[in-house]
Amino acid sequence: MEFFGREEEMSLLNTEFDKDCSLVIIKGRRRVGKSRLIEEFLRGKEHLYYEVDSETRQSILSNLSKKVSGGLNVKFNTWSDALKYYVSDRPGKKVIAIDEFQYAVRADPDLRVEIQALWDTFLSKSNVMLILCGSSLVSMNNLTGGLKSPLYGRNSLDLTVHPFPFRTTVTEDYKKSVERYAVTGGVPYYMSLMSGNDPVDDVIRMTMETGSPLLNEGEYLLGSEFRNLSSYNTYLKTIANGHRTMEKITGAVEAPSEEILPYLKKLMEIGMVERILPVTEAKPEKSRNGQYVISDHFMSLWFRFVYPYRNAIVRTENDVAVQNLRDHFIDAHVAFVFESVCREELRRYLRGRGIAAEYGKYWGKGEIDLIALDKKNKVAYVCECKYHSKPLGMSELNVLMQKTAAVKELAGYSIQYCLFSVSGFMDNLNGSGAVLFDNGEPLVP
């Protein structure tokens, strides 16, 4: 897949390279393109790149020795000896990039302290840019995340590589772009597997057939963070099936909240799950009105449509799984992803007009897909996001107005209504005053 995007990340890395010395932490979910980013950054630079495998300490050091010595039969007993050897032989600026660093730490827990000492006494004085990259967010956060962390205060850049935003992935066919994004979530590896044809057929090919490359993807991703996956699988499947409040989750899994919360907190730590609140909530830190959602679009898809049927798929009996996907791909998945797409599109629209706002949903007396609160100017942008095959008309706007009138928290705000559609609008909306977003672009400024 051709390398594209990542201009901001590349600029940040080049800024670090221009310093006399710098220690950079790079992290992000698997498949998001961290290694490719590093590969592109290293082009034309004197560098050592070493990707650590999940092996023993001695095996990792043996492979590092071969890498550092250029294939010569030189054996180093410590990381410090190996990296000092590499640096001492090269007088100019150089980059040392250690990928999947969490495997090295897992094999040798004392390595974090060793790297700290090596940085303090040698590397920071040797015209070196040191990059430590990893897919385990928990392990990488532990490197610099607190006063007792070994590298706390030493790194000059802590870079999280995120999936591409929707706009980066849009093609000429906006509707199909939304459906593809609902599958890939902007993750480059998944994007590379898409055929460009029907997204549902792509999901079947990638996850529901013999030899499908992503059949076990959910557990593969969770396995990089956690050991015992059974509880995590249960709670993610429950959320993916629409049980988003703690009350509904506890009812679905028949377990008390105090048993469930520790798992949800760990999933939130790695960005897999997010606890959302109504954007109108006055005291969010004390609110009990939260909902839990799976932040990762592919993982939401996988736990909704693949995980419950995996045993049948392995037996080549995928009929029910395929039928369920074809019946509910839009209403149970794409429609919700479209709300997040609309949020991105609305933010792009408002930022282009110099408007800073807080974004979120509303639920209580009714539910509103998207609200942006411009608290400075006391304007609320209240939105309906419809992923329908038919054009939207005045009836949808009237329903939105009725729901908005019941939201007492919006008293004192001027209301600007917005409608988002992938199938156009009816003529009866002309002159309504609503901002109409057709395929992400406003028809009325």
* Residue 111 is assigned to a structural domain of this protein: yes
Q: Is residue 144 located within the same domain as residue 56?
A: yes
Q: In degrees rounded to 5, what are phi and psi of residue 228? A: -85, 105
Q: What is the CATH number of the domain that holds 174?
A: 1.10.10.10
CA 314 to chain CA centroid, Å, is 28
Q: Give the model's pLDDT for residue 284.
A: 84
Q: What is the pLDDT of residue 354?
A: 98
Residue with tokens 């706390």: 152
Indicate the residue among 160, 194, 216 that finishes a domain.
160
Residues 176 and 155 in one domain: no
Q: Are residues 409 and 321 in the same domain?
A: no
Distance of CA 43 to the CA centre of its chain: 26
For residue 345, being part of any structural domain is answered with: no
Does any domain span residue 347? no
Looking at the fold, whether 292 and 407 belong to one and the same domain comes out as: no
281 and 175 share a domain? yes
Residues 180 and 197 in one domain: yes
Same domain, 94 and 38: yes
Q: What is the mean pLDDT of each run of 10 residues along the chain (445 residues)?
A: 87 96 95 96 96 93 92 88 93 95 93 94 96 90 76 89 96 95 97 93 97 96 91 97 96 96 95 95 87 98 98 96 98 97 98 97 93 98 96 97 96 97 95 95 77
CA–CA gap between residue 227 and residue 427 (Å, rounded): 56
Q: Could you tell me if 149 and 191 lie in one domain?
A: no
pLDDT for position 212:
97
Based on the domain organization, do 309 and 205 belong to the same domain?
yes
Q: State whether 94 and 223 are in the same domain.
A: no
Query: Is 171 a member of any domain?
Result: yes
**Domain residue limits at 384:** 355-442
Do 33 and 107 fall into the same domain? yes
Domain count, the chain: 3
Chosen domain end from 111, 136, 160: 160
Does residue 187 lie within any of the structural domains? Answer: yes
User: SS3 of 95, please?
Assistant: strand
Which CATH number goes with the domain that contains 396?
A: 3.40.1350.10
Strands 441-442 and 157-160: unpaired
**CA-closest candidate to residue 308, choices 297, 321, 317, 296:** 321
Asked whether residue 93 falls in the same domain as residue 140, the answer is yes
Whether 247 contacts 160, CB under 8 Å: no
CA distance 445 to 296: 32
What length does the chain have? 445
Question: What pairing do the DSSP bridges indicate for beta strands 94-99 and 291-294?
Answer: unpaired
Q: How many Cα atoms are found within 13 Å in the side-chain-facing hemisphere of 173? A: 10
Asked if residue 343 is part of any domain, the answer here is: no
Tell me the pTM: 0.93
Is residue 265 situated within a structural domain?
yes
Q: Is residue 339 in some structural domain? A: no
Domain boundary (100, 126, 160) is at 160
